[in-house]
Amino acid sequence: MAKLKIAILISGRGTNMQALIDYCSTENAAAEIALVLSNVRDAVGLDRAAEADVPSVTIDHKQYASREHFEDAVTKTLEDHDIQLVCLAGFMRLLTGTFVDHWRDRLINIHPSLLPAFKGLDTHERALAEGVRFTGCTVHYVRAKMDTGPIIVQAAVPILPDDDSESLAMRVLVAEHRCYPYALSLIAARKTRIIGEKVLIDGAQAPGPAFLNPTDDT
């Protein structure tokens, strides 16, 4: 079976992109990174792509008169590279419904919360302010509304009594670096199906009956 050709869209450091690069470099990976695309010319992630010998291109959104013109250029570049799946990894541009619909079920994203909780920005600060005991990250297919779409994989991260937003963000990021490659591996192995806006995964198993935070030592 031919490997799934993916593109990764970035705007910054590209740490989740690096996790995908590391996965795709493994012997049994069912996906290959055909392109890294950034809208920021000096994004650190472009250096990561170069170090991994992954082709990259910059399309500066500031050079386009409208969001639609920018996205048209992005789509043309992706299609010129025969991209089958687009992975957003810290791509800091809101996408129009036209773009999202064009790439429907071929566009995924990772978000640092357990969606549908804490959509948008400042997820860790908001989780701490609300006093929830768990947060985490979510990999999902993208839909037109921000941070919505069928959920592929989630990772739960317990919130500790002495957490601040920085320490929590670091632990969630570790979970992201596990979650995103795993979600990609499921898609690349053709194990995912979207039925009624829910993702069914062939052979999926739940991790356990329950997790407590704080733990019950009685």
By annotation, the residues acting in catalysis are 111
Rounded CA separation 12/66 (Å): 22
Q: Whose CA is closest to 145, among 119, 173, 114? A: 119
- Are 140 and 184 in contact, with CB atoms under 8 Å apart? no
Which residues, 6+ apart, have CB-to-CB distance to 177 below 8 Å? 15, 16, 18, 19
Rounded CA separation 24/10 (Å): 17
